[in-house]
């Protein structure tokens, strides 16, 4: 299972309870990740061909892509590798957020950097530590929040906050007010872990710039761990333990 998300940890725990062996693979981009139960592998594979070889060498029966909705490259690599190795695969992808009044949808971070110029002067940037280069030339002031310190380039006028969710609405309100934020930038990550910032922005009447999710590979997609468990019952060969025993 390609993991790193709360959904991946939930699924790993469910599989462990059913005595189904699962190897959770994490990209290793977060310094101190929350680890799932069971076996964990950290680091990349070196591309689809190497991943396909690893799947064959390890005798993997099924691949579950439970990565972040914006982990586009690994998702396409995993789908290609599973096809090459003849291993069934599925994507566990949490639903995106429903649009709200005051939201401005953009295709990528570069478009977000242009859009904010007409919306505010003090930006709460919550798009993660990668991709900050898209805002490096902006004259605006940025409150940047991420789990680990980002690499340069970064906007010249930046206040950095290192923190990890989940967050509370009250906490987000206090943070935005303290820094006089007048526009929020985020990705359509979905899920409850970071939704508090959206609620806080709505209460404050702030515009929100939301980056749309990238395209996904041509494989089956489900939204919950229970759906994956049902799929495994059908997809895994009979000789391999399944949720039905």
When pLDDT is cut at 50, 70 and 90, the band that residue 245 belongs to is very low
Write out pLDDT tens, residues 207-229.
Answer: 999 999 999 999 999 999 999 99
Q: What's the rounded mean pLDDT across residues 152-175?
A: 95
- Radius of gyration (Cα) for the chain, nearest Å? 20
String of DSSP letters for 121-143: SEEEEES-STTGGGGTT--SEEE
The verdict on residue 54 lying in a domain is yes
The verdict on residue 245 lying in a domain is no
Write out pLDDT tens, residues 11-37.
Answer: 999 999 999 999 999 987 777 788 999
Instruction: Tell me: do 136 and 200 sit in the same domain.
Output: yes
Instruction: Tell me: do 111 and 76 sit in the same domain.
Output: no
Q: What is the pTM of this model?
A: 0.88
Cα atoms in the 13 Å half-sphere on the side-chain side of 107: 2
Q: What's the rounded mean pLDDT across residues 98-117?
A: 97
State the Cα angle at 163 between 16 and 64, rounded to 5°: 30
Instruction: Tell me: do 141 and 193 sit in the same domain.
Output: yes
Q: Which structural domain, as residue segments, surrounds residue 49?
A: 6-95+214-235
Rounded to whole angstroms, the Cα distance separating 160 from 218 reads 38
- What is each CA distance from 219 to 5, 80, 142, 222, in whole angstroms? 19, 10, 38, 10
How high does pLDDT run on average in the chain?
A: 93
Please say whether the dihedral angle defined by the alpha carbons of residues 149, 152, 153 and 158, taken in this order, is positive or negative: positive
Instruction: Tell me: do 176 and 85 sit in the same domain.
Output: no
Write out pLDDT tens, residues 48-74.
Answer: 999 999 999 999 999 999 999 999 999
Domain of 38: which CATH number? 3.40.50.720
Instruction: Tell me: do 191 and 119 sit in the same domain.
Output: yes
β-partners of residue 26 are 42
Q: What's the rounded mean pLDDT across residues 94-119?
A: 97
> Does residue 243 carry a pLDDT above 60?
no
Percent helix, strand and coil across the chain, each to the nearest 5: 35, 20, 45
Domain of 129: which CATH number? 3.40.50
Strands 39-42 and 183-187, how do they pair?
Answer: unpaired
């Amino acid at each position: 299972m390609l993991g790193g998300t709360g959904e991946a940890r939930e699924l790993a725990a469910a599989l462990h309870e059913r005595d189904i062996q699962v190897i959770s693979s994490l990209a290793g981009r977060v310094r101190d990740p929350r680890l799932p139960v069971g076996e964990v592998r950290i680091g990349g594979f070196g591309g689809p061909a190497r991943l396909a070889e690893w799947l064959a060498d390890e005798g993997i029966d099924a691949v579950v892509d439970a990565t972040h909705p914006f982990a586009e490259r690994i998702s396409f690599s995993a789908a290609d590798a599973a096809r090459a190795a003849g291993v069934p695969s599925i994507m566990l992808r949490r639903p995106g957020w429903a649009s709200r009044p005051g939201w401005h949808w953009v295709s990528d971070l570069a478009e977000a950097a242009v859009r904010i110029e007409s919306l505010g002067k003090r930006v709460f940037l919550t798009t993660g530590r990668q991709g900050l280069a898209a805002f490096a030339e902006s004259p605006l002031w940025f409150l940047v929040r991420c789990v680990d310190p980002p690499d340069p380039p970064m906007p010249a006028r930046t206040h950095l906050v290192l923190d990890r969710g989940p967050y509370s609405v009250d906490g987000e309100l206090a943070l935005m007010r303290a820094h006089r934020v007048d526009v929020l930038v985020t990705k359509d990550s979905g899920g409850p872990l970071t939704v508090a910032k959206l609620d806080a922005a709505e209460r404050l009447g702030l515009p929100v710039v939301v980056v749309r999710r990238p395209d996904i590979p041509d494989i089956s997609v489900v939204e919950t761990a229970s759906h994956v468990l049902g799929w495994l019952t059908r997809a895994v060969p009979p000789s391999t333990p399944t949720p039905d025993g």
